Homo-oligomer: A and B are copies of this chain.
């Protein structure tokens, strides 16, 4: 069997909170029962040519499987879902709808969330940030409200759990510290259902264990 290798942060900047994008790929691999190996990459190495050859934008995760190399979490999760049973329905129309939710998570729900995250990360020292944050929170609310109405009392977005839910829950998890998720109880419950899946727990625990280990060891970059 071909070995699957993914790259991750050597020391995740979220301190093992599970928000780095490798968690999405780990989760998908756990859902379909595929073993994988991890190659941690330092921030410095991420911008070097060897890694840029795998990922033109110098990020993690990447995915290697024999002579196939992929980057971009959505594409990697889709590839895993297409190759193995468990993340996409068999019916062609249901499958197209599950894929729709993957794209909706990444291109409709995540962008306003990223704007909010970026404002905290990159503009917290700017004089406008305090006045601007409520605007950004409202833009996120606009989308959450629509998603909440759509989801209603359903457990998952379209029938059984799919790669669309995996991606949507992963995107919504970024909002935990903002408090916004709790304004929509059915969305908070939806995210909690995702987190309660054994495959998610295994993925989360694995990335946390790597972070904890990185705190106890000397970085490879600093050894001779």
Question: Residues on A close to B: CB < 8 A?
Answer: 56-58, 67-68, 70-76, 78-79, 93, 96-97, 99-100, 102-104, 106-108, 110-111, 114-115, 118, 122-123, 126-128, 131-132, 135, 143, 146-147, 149-150
B74, A97: Cβ atoms closer than 8 Å: no
A68, B56: Cβ atoms closer than 8 Å: no
In the assembled complex, the Cα of A150 lies from the Cα of B57 at a distance in Å of 9
Residues of B within 8 A of A149 (CB): 56
- The listed residue (B102, B111, B122, B127) touching A75 by CB distance below 8 A is B102
A123, B135: Cβ atoms closer than 8 Å: yes
- The listed residue (B103, B123, B146) touching A74 by CB distance below 8 A is B103
Q: Is the interface of A mostly helix, strand, loop or mixed?
A: helix
A100, B115: Cβ atoms closer than 8 Å: no
Give me 10 other A-B pairs in contact (C-beta within 8 A), A75-B99, A79-B96, A123-B132 excluded. Answer: A56-B147, A56-B150, A57-B108, A57-B146, A72-B103, A72-B104, A72-B108, A73-B107, A107-B107, A115-B118
In the assembled complex, the Cα of A147 lies from the Cα of B71 at a distance in Å of 14
- Nearest B residue to A21 by beta-carbon distance? B107
Residues of B within 8 A of A99 (CB): 75, 78-79
In the assembled complex, the Cα of A56 lies from the Cα of B106 at a distance in Å of 15
- The listed residue (B70, B104, B122, B132) touching A100 by CB distance below 8 A is B70
Residues of B within 8 A of A132 (CB): 123, 126, 128
What is the minimal beta-carbon distance from A140 to any residue of chain B, in angstroms?
13
Residues of B within 8 A of A150 (CB): 56
